[in-house]
Amino acid sequence: MAKDDSRRATPRTSTKTSTGLPGSQRGSQGLKGTSSGKGRGKRVVLAEPDAARARRSQRVSPGQVIGLIGRLAVAALILAIVAAIALSVLRTLPVFTISSIDTEATEHLSEQDIANLAGVVEGTTLLSVDEEVIEQNLMRNPWVAEVHVHRKFPDKLGIEVRERSVDSLVLMSTSAFAWYIGEGNVWLEPATFDIADGQTAKDAAQALAIEKGATFIVDVPATVNPQAGGEVTDEVLLAIDTYRRELPEAISSQVVYFSASSLEGISCVLTSGVEVSLGNPTQIEQKAAVLTQILDQYPGEITYVNVREPSTPAYRRIDSGTVQPGSGA
């Protein structure tokens, strides 16, 4: 019997490596698969996901960023040039040429005065007018405290002026003329007043101060030299301003006028006729307290009080020929 040389072929099996996306089932070697049995290990190349490939393709290089910035800068420059040209053209359009100035007169400035002081050149347009220059021009007048300029398209310019209030009226040492001091301690202008028959310059000036609601100041040093629009720098006048601000209302409301020959010589006269020697503007609160105490202690009997040194005051009573020491505060 012949020997059967036929051999039964043993079929070879192979394994497949999973290439699923993260989260799917993997072989024991992770993303690298190997064949089963004695076969040689094979590296499996995974397909790049579509989303990752899309992100990589969208990456912008530094050169592209610089190029984009350059293009934006050029575009911005072009827009700025176009805007400047357009504004330059608009500035000269006749439709915007200022034809009138809308304003209201104040007590010391007429509408024409305000227009003249504004200094708007003929042919100026609402787009080319310089508001700051107009304000500076008007502020050169000492009566002007504030200026507001408004454009009223197409061809009108509005100007609002607030005038300084009068704070004080100063009768000069010669008693021949007086000057107004406005808010902010600014010299305004000489005051005009008429002296009636039998009336002194002091009486006439005092009547004007009452009319204006201003503090009346007399007997100032000859060195006081007012300049319209100039700041008040005289120490005696600044000292009186301090008294005006710091004296209690109960006393300051009674002051008829201040006398200011020197710092030590500052005094005032009250509506009751009492003369009060104040001196330097120091210890004002204590001086006011002492003065009030003396006036309350002798109502209607006091003609003179000296509180230059509030710790050692002195006073004079009616029918008394001597100045008596006070008790202090």
Does 36 map to a domain?
no
Task: Tell me the pLDDT tens digit for each residue of 168-221.
Answer: 999 998 777 899 999 999 999 999 898 999 899 999 999 999 999 999 999 999
Give the mean pLDDT of 38-59. Answer: 56
| Angle at alpha carbon of residue 54, lines to 53 and 57, rounded to 5° | 90
Q: Answer yes or no: are the C-beta atoms of 125 and 96 closer than 8 Å.
A: yes
Q: Which of 23-27, 94-98, 214-218, 282-286 has the lowest mean pLDDT?
A: 23-27
Q: Which of 43-52, 143-152, 313-322 has the lowest mean pLDDT?
A: 43-52
Q: How confident is the model at residue 56 (pLDDT cuts 50, 70, 90)?
A: low
Does 37 map to a domain?
no
| Angle at alpha carbon of residue 267, lines to 179 and 271, rounded to 5° | 85
DSSP 30: B
Structural domains in the chain (count):
3
Same domain, 120 and 102: yes
Same domain, 237 and 138: no
CB environment 263-278: b (16+ within 10 A), e (fewer):
eeebbbbbeeebebbb
Torsion angles phi and psi, residue 45, rounded to 5: -90, 120
Same domain, 100 and 85: no
pLDDT: which is higher, 72 or 263: 263
CATH label of the domain that carries residue 303: 3.40.50
CATH label of the domain that carries residue 103: 3.10.20.310
Is pLDDT of 55 > 80?
no
Same domain, 121 and 202: no
pLDDT over 90 for what percent of the chain? 63
Does 307 map to a domain?
yes
Give the mean pLDDT of 258-278. Answer: 97
Q: Answer yes or no: are the C-beta atoms of 150 and 157 closer than 8 Å.
A: yes
The mean of the pLDDT values for the chain is 83
Is pLDDT of 222 > 60?
yes
Give pLDDT, residue 237.
97
Does 16 map to a domain?
no
pTM of this structure: 0.70
Domain boundary among 138, 163, 188: 163
Give pLDDT, residue 61.
75
Is pLDDT of 29 > 50?
no
Domain boundary among 142, 163, 184: 163
Same domain, 262 and 191: yes
Give pLDDT, residue 34.
43
Q: How confident is the model at residue 75 (pLDDT cuts 50, 70, 90)?
A: confident
Task: Copy the structure tokens of residue 181.
Answer: 């001091």
Same domain, 236 and 284: yes
Does 285 map to a domain?
yes
Is pLDDT of 2 > 90?
no
Is pLDDT of 20 > 70?
no
Same domain, 220 and 73: no
Q: Which of 18-27, 109-118, 262-271, 294-303 has the lowest mean pLDDT?
A: 18-27
Does 9 map to a domain?
no
Does 34 map to a domain?
no
- E strand or H helix at 289, and its extent? helix 284-297
Give pLDDT, residue 31.
40
Q: Answer yes or no: are the C-beta atoms of 173 and 156 closer than 8 Å.
A: no
pLDDT: which is higher, 176 or 49: 176
Same domain, 218 and 106: no
Q: How confident is the model at residue 25 (pLDDT cuts 50, 70, 90)?
A: very low
Torsion angles phi and psi, residue 123, rounded to 5: 95, -10
CA atoms within 13 A on the CB side of 87: 8
Rounded Cα gap, residues 292 and 249, in angstroms: 12
Rounded Cα gap, residues 186 and 233, in angstroms: 9
Q: How confident is the model at residue 77 (pLDDT cuts 50, 70, 90)?
A: confident
- E strand or H helix at 179, and its extent? strand 178-182
- Which residue range is the domain that position 74 belongs to? 60-91
